[in-house]
Amino acid sequence: MKNLLAVVLVLVAGLLVARRVKQARDADGGGGSSGAAAAEKPAHAWPPVKGEPYPDLALEDHEGKTVRLSSLRGKVLVIEPIGLACPACNAYAGAETRGGFRGSGVQTGLGSIDDHLSRWANTSLGVDPDLVLVQLLLFDTSSSVGNPPSAEDAREWAEHFRLDQRKSVVVLRGTRALANGGGYAMVPGFQVVDRKGVLRFDGSGHQPADDPYRTVLGSIPDLLRESP
């Protein structure tokens, strides 16, 4: 009888431990859970580090389709970290002709990404199929850390600037895990990723490592000539 009681107690204790482990995993987003804590923990290094492979983000585009950055391997990527209310980001997207997104301010005289590609890289989107602009929407119109854009935000941003009509532009919606202080420090500006997926030049943020125009965008012709 004592042995049977001991077995029962062990089984009960095991069940309690298993239950607590499951609860802990669910709270942390493990075991397939979609808990809020999981959304705050990137599954990769963030922010990206110059000279290292760019995090293989898997994010929804403006149509709700999941796109993994590694699917663009073999192309040269201009990655633009964006806050939807950022005046410079709006200008780069073409706000001087289309107007700011939802009334956002626009940094006048800055010019669009198309203007800068023409000047500094002597090319334009759509001319070389191996050049792709990836707009990485990190923050919604509140421009606050922890507030990524919604699916509606991404769709309306793409429609407002007519990016949904451009095959050489990919609009990706960031997650709460990316909308942290590291992501905030990346806005605005440009990063260039080579054909092998390595972040070669970083001109993002208010204190960029590289000149976003002369160095970052100016590197594109040479990178396009490199072998995949």
Strands annotated E in the chain:
58-61, 66-68, 76-83, 131-139, 169-173, 189-193, 199-204
On the CB side of 221, CA atoms within 13 Å amount to 11
**pLDDT number for residue 38:** 40
**pLDDT number for residue 42:** 59
**pLDDT number for residue 28:** 35
Q: Can you give the residue ranges of every domain in the chain?
A: 1-39, 45-225
**pLDDT number for residue 227:** 87
With contact defined as beta carbons under 8 Å apart, do 196 and 84 qualify?
no
**pLDDT number for residue 41:** 56
Tens place of pLDDT per residue across the chain (228 aa): 444 443 333 333 333 333 432 333 333 333 333 333 344 555 678 999 999 999 999 999 999 999 999 999 999 999 999 999 999 999 999 999 999 999 999 999 999 999 999 999 999 999 999 999 999 999 999 999 999 999 999 999 999 999 999 999 999 999 999 999 999 999 999 999 999 999 999 999 999 999 999 999 999 999 999 988
The superfamily in CATH containing domain 45-225 is Glutaredoxin (3.40.30.10)
The pair of three-digit structure tokens given for residue 191, joined into one six-digit string:
């990063």
CA angle 123, 164, 53 (to 5 degrees): 60
